[in-house]
Amino acid sequence: MTKANTKNADWTMVISPKSNMLSLQLEDIWRYKDLLYLFVRRDFVSIYKQTILGPAWFFIQPILTTITYTIIFGNVAGLSTDGLPKMIFYLSGVVCWSYFSDCITTISSTFIANAQVFGKVYFPRLIAPLSVVISKLIKLGIQFLLFIVTLLYYVIFESTEVSPNIYLLLSPVLVLLMGGLGLGLGLLISSLTTKYRDMRFLIAFGVQLLMYGTPVIYPLSKVPEEYRLLVTLNPITPVVEAFRYGFLGTGTFSVYHLVYSFVFTVIALLLGIVVFNRVEKTFMDSV
């Protein structure tokens, strides 16, 4: 009797209705790190299978966007670019912004996009959104190269004067902030989407709207005083501004703004994980 009891005490897993809300299941995620890698690889490889241009799309997309912005916002609307060549100005904004917006849009459909797989087999659900943050990072890297090449071209052949400074070393922090923010908000939205599908429609134009509230197509310095606070409250604003400041020497850089972004990101991440953990256990019932 006692022997049986001690024998039965060492269960390796207990499945119960509730789980620890803040548990990151880091141990579990570590065990599934190969899956994380394979998901990243799958996303990357499958994107350009059966396309003629293949990985070139990673370049074409930002270039076309930048050209469009140059024509519409630069030439037609005549928005200020802080004295920088329009191509450089918009490209820097587009590269930063598209990483954040890619992350948040893709992650916010995590549950719906993976319903088929989630419904059949267990693995730590966080693997799916994490793989998005990483695979989009590869795209960001490629686009960042494009930005550097374009910048060099302007400096060498067009004698554009830019003043890169020590703050460009902050880039990894900026990337972390964008990824973290995209992940946190994405998790939050994806969790809500499982129950209230309305969120799905909201996210599409919500992200679009947020872009206009971020200094992507205009410099923060040219924002009228009455809107300045509103734009600064946007946690992505300091990231874009700091990126431009570090590489180009223009823009508004403030440590306080960056700290604000950081705090915002941490809160969004925590909140996102709590809600995600709550939803992941039973979301299959409502999809």
Partner 1 sequence: MDMSEKIIEIENLSKLYRLGDIGTGSLKNDVQRWWAKLRGKEDPFMKVGAENDRSKKGQSDYVWSLKDISFSINKGDALGIIGKNGAGKSTLLKLLSRVTAPTQGQIKIKGRVASLLEVGTGFHPDLTGLENIFLNGAIMGMTKSEIKAKLEEIVEFSGIAAYIDTPIKRYSTGMRVRLGFAVAAHLDSEILIVDEVLAVGDSVFQKKCIDKMTKVRSEGRTILFVSHQLSAVKSLCKTGVVLENGKLRFQGDIDGALAYYATTNNSIKGQELKLGDLDRHQSVGQIKFERIVFENYPVNFGETIKFKLILQTQDHETLFSDIDMAVNINDRNKSCIVHCANKFLGKNFSHTDDQMEYHFEIENNLKPGYYYMTLFLRSKDVIQDWIEDQIILEIQGSNPYGYHSNGLIQGNVLPGFNISQVNSKVLL
Q: What is the DSSP letter of 165?
A: -
Mapped onto helix, strand or coil, the DSSP state of residue 81 is coil
CB-based contacts of 282, cutoff 8 Å, min separation 6? none
Q: Which of 270, 116, 280 is CA-nearest to residue 194?
A: 280
Question: CB within 8 A of 115, min separation 6: which ones?
Answer: 284, 287
Asked if residue 53 binds partner 1 (CB under 8 A), the reply is no
Give CA–CA dist 159/182, Å, rounded: 36
Q: Which of 2, 6, 17, 169 binds partner 1 (CB under 8 A)?
A: 17
Cα 171 to Cα 67: distance, rounded to the nearest angstrom: 24
**Closest Cα partner for 278 from 20, 32, 16?**
20
Using rule CB under 8 A, residue 38 touches partner 1: yes
Pattern 246-285, binding to partner 1, x per CB under 8 A? -----------------------------------xxxxx
* Given 54, 68, 196, 209, the residue binding partner 1 (CB under 8 A): 196
Tell me if 37 contacts partner 1 by CB under 8 A. yes
Among 24, 117, 259, 263, binds partner 1 (CB under 8 A): 117
118 binds partner 1 (CB under 8 A): yes
For partner 1, which residue of 2, 6, 16, 163 counts as binding (CB under 8 A)?
A: 16
Chain residues that interact with partner 1, rule: CB under 8 A: 7-8, 10-19, 31-32, 34-35, 37-39, 42, 45-46, 49-50, 116-123, 195-197, 281-286
